[in-house]
Chains A and B, each alone.
Chain A
Amino acid sequence: MSRLSYPLYQLGNPQLRIFRPNWLLTLVRPGKEQPPDTVQFRIPMDMTKYDVKNYLEKIYNVPVGVIRTRIQFGENIHSLFYSQAQGQTFTFPDIFPEKDRTPKEGSMEEMQEKFMEDEKQRQKLDPRRGGVTEWFGL
């Protein structure tokens, strides 16, 4: 659990451990072109580079190289880059591929699609008017 104030550390104290961390990481597609071994995350403001390194290594079992951070203003995000250890590449996958969705016969989706099509047809103007609105005219 990430606390607001950590206990003080003096030489000889045991290593601070955090059980059940509450930090959330968001993998984002980088805005600019990045080398293939770089992955970009959004992290909360109270995470440090060591925290991120341990988080990824322990929870996700991912080998981590250099971590670079920067602060992104807006809605309190903390952008971060990190590069993987030797030779591993990562490409951001296409999570929303086009899938042919043919709804089943008699299903809700089919009825919804039909309804939407009917609505659109009703809202279309009279084809005999050739694209002119019906506001004017007879």
Chain B
Amino acid sequence: MASSSSLGRVLTLSKQLQSVFRISPAISVQHCVVNLKRCQNNLLSETFSSFASSWITPISFVGQHRALHTTISRRGLEEFFDQPENWGESNVKSGAPWTAKQLRTKSNEDLHKLWYVLLKERNMLLTLEQEAKRQRIQMPSPERMKKIERSMVRLDTVVKERETALRLLQTGQEKGRPGEWRRNVFGYEYWYRFKEYTIPWYMNKRHKRKKFYTPYFVQPHIRLRIERFLRERTRKASLKKKTLAKLKERFPQTKLPSS
């Protein structure tokens, strides 16, 4: 991960200090890792100085291996805006988005913190976008929004994977919210997810009006639906065959995919 030199220096220093003071590696996640290769040297030098000051003071040696965590960014509403050096720039450099593979290597604590870092960054980009619309100026580097969104989605999937795995091991259930397969009035089977109510379903007048079975008079409509589906399928297949036959006629030597 030590791509740029200053970033590498901070991380190697953090690793050394880890071995000495047994600080959890999560602190170094905070500012340096919003986007992987963020080349903002000012930011890194700032955080380095605040690293040193924040590490030295709140360390406790009471026999536990984890020291206190201090959040470095406590600037309040300033976090809704980018760093003042980037105001007015037309391009702001940012690195690649997080991939699911990289996120799977991180601990749960790290992922939790990263979620909030990404959330704050996303809020900042949204405020920037809105302000740019207000001032009728182009937003600097709008690709950051998509990167952040994708990173957050991937983080969510990774956390969900871990949750389902844990739940399967502990309880044998795959889904957190109970549900079952039910048939609706139109003949479709769908996964109905249970909802919490204060009264049972047979006392709920509004809920009883909802039908979880298919009445008998819907059968002809279901049949027509099936016919339409089959017709579409055969039409697609025959279209493919015809196009291949035409190509074969026009270009006899070419090797066509056998379908």
| A96 CA / B79 CA spacing, docked (Å) | 17
Q: Measuring CB to CB, which residues of chain B are less than 8 angstroms from any residue of chain A?
A: 71, 74, 76-77, 79-82, 87-90, 112, 115-116, 119-120, 122-123, 126-132, 134-135, 137, 152, 156, 159, 195-198
Among listed A20-28, A66-74, A114-122, A127-135, interface-contacting one: A20-28
B130 contacts which chain A residues (CB < 8 A)? 26-28, 42
Q: CB distance A60 to B77 under 8 Å?
A: yes
Q: Can you list the 5 inter-chain pairs with the closest CB atoms, starting with the nearest?
A: A27-B127, A26-B126, A99-B88, A27-B80, A97-B88
Q: CB distance B112 to A8 under 8 Å?
A: no
**A59-B120, A60-B77, A97-B87 in contact; A29/B131 too (CB < 8 A)?**
yes
Q: Report the minimum CB–CB distance from B179 to chain A (whole Å).
A: 13
A5 contacts which chain B residues (CB < 8 A)? 195-196
B82 contacts which chain A residues (CB < 8 A)? 95
Interface residues of A in 75-111 (CB under 8 A from B): 90, 93-99, 101
Most buried by A among B74, B77, B112, B137: B77
Q: CB distance B134 to A24 under 8 Å?
A: no
| A59 CA / B121 CA spacing, docked (Å) | 12
Q: CB distance B77 to A96 under 8 Å?
A: no
Q: CB distance A95 to B123 under 8 Å?
A: no
| A75 CA / B58 CA spacing, docked (Å) | 47
B89 contacts which chain A residues (CB < 8 A)? 99
| A28 CA / B135 CA spacing, docked (Å) | 12
Size class of A's contact patch?
20 to 34
Q: CB distance A61 to B88 under 8 Å?
A: no
A99 contacts which chain B residues (CB < 8 A)? 88-89
| A46 CA / B159 CA spacing, docked (Å) | 23
Would you list 19 pairs from A and B whose C-beta atoms are within 8 A, ordered by A residue? A1-B156, A5-B195, A8-B198, A19-B112, A20-B116, A22-B152, A26-B127, A26-B129, A27-B80, A27-B130, A42-B130, A60-B77, A60-B79, A95-B87, A95-B131, A96-B87, A96-B132, A96-B135, A96-B137
> Which partner residue on chain A sits nearest B80 by CB separation?
A27
Q: Measuring CB to CB, which residues of chain A are less than 8 angstroms from any residue of chain B?
A: 1, 5, 7-8, 19-22, 24-29, 39, 42, 59-62, 90, 93-99, 101
B120 contacts which chain A residues (CB < 8 A)? 59-60
Choice from B116, B128, B134 contacting A59 with Cβ under 8 Å: B116
Q: CB distance B81 to A96 under 8 Å?
A: no
Q: Report the minimum CB–CB distance from A103 to chain B (whole Å).
A: 11
**A20-B115, A24-B126 in contact; A7/B135 too (CB < 8 A)?**
no
Choice from B77, B90, B134 contacting A90 with Cβ under 8 Å: B77
Q: CB distance B112 to A20 under 8 Å?
A: yes
| A94 CA / B88 CA spacing, docked (Å) | 9
| A62 CA / B73 CA spacing, docked (Å) | 12
> Which partner residue on chain B sits nearest A8 by CB separation?
B196
Q: Report the minimum CB–CB distance from B114 to chain A (whole Å).
A: 10
| A93 CA / B123 CA spacing, docked (Å) | 16
| A61 CA / B79 CA spacing, docked (Å) | 10
B129 contacts which chain A residues (CB < 8 A)? 26
| A94 CA / B79 CA spacing, docked (Å) | 15
Choice from B77, B90, B116, B156 contacting A27 with Cβ under 8 Å: B77
